[in-house]
Amino acid sequence: MLGYITWTASPNLIDSFVTVRWYGLMFAIGFLVGYEIVWRIYRREGAPESWMSSLFLYVVVATIVGARLGHVFFYDWAWYSQHLSDIPKVWEGGLASHGGTLGIMIAIWFYSKFVTKKPMLWTFDRLIVPVGLVAALIRIGNLMNHEIYGAPTDVPWAFSFVENVNQWMHGAEPVMTVPCHPTQLYEAACYLVTFVVCMYMYWRRNAAEREGLLFGVFMLGIFVPRFFIEYIKNVQEPWEIAMRATWGIDQGQLLSIPFIVLGIWLVIRALRRPRVKIEYPGKFKDEKQ
């Protein structure tokens, strides 16, 4: 048996006059499937169908802008502060999930205030149901990009990645890493479990009747695994090495802590409050009435 997997998959699905990257495809599939699931949730509860188009716009813009600014300010401000014109260049890489989460939370505040006129938790309890799947697909995209992998290991499922992926894509010989933990797959598996749990809780247990419970479970299902997997993941920026040595955690773990605390608080709060019955008419509200 092989002691590890030599991973030489191309980041590009199509590399011709049009280039399609696996990462972009996974991102797009996640958003489309997520849209379909939330559309069915809104229809089940009789929400206006027009809320969906607004939600999609808010979430897409907030995810991209928030994730980009999260990378800029949380991980690499020293460089971007001297190269401000490069901040909008999302296509050159550099997205942070914590920034994307914050961006969505801010966007949902505006969405709740100006569109639904409902509490933010009403939207979050429905929006997050498919997000675990989206997060898992994005991590598969990271796998295809040969990025965000873990520390060296001798486990039999270790991956040897292309270290000089950009040069390799332009014709250079690949320089392979030593066998490493495929932390993209570890995270993807945890996020898929979170997706399944949230789907079960919403569709089978009517968990949205406990305000904030689904959102809290989602936060714990995403950020607790992220916190612990960081221990075997390579740091994203060199300065995090000193941070780990000093504090025992890196930037990704530090940024995860507030979300974990929020998740714990939401679950406790939801379980202490009585269940509020929701009607499920199974059709969109007629906005002409």
Name residues whose C-beta falls within 8 Å of residue 63's C-beta, 6 or more positions apart in sequence.
100, 103, 104
pLDDT tens column, 147-200: 999 999 999 999 999 999 989 988 899 999 999 999 999 999 999 999 999 999
pTM score of the predicted model: 0.91
Mean pLDDT in residue range 128-138 = 96
| Confidence at 95, pLDDT banded by 50, 70, 90 | confident
* Residues in a beta bridge with 176: 162
Residues 58, 111 contacting (CB under 8 angstroms): yes
Local structure of residue 96 (DSSP, 8 states): -
Residues 14, 1 contacting (CB under 8 angstroms): no
**Is 92 a residue whose pLDDT tops 50?**
yes
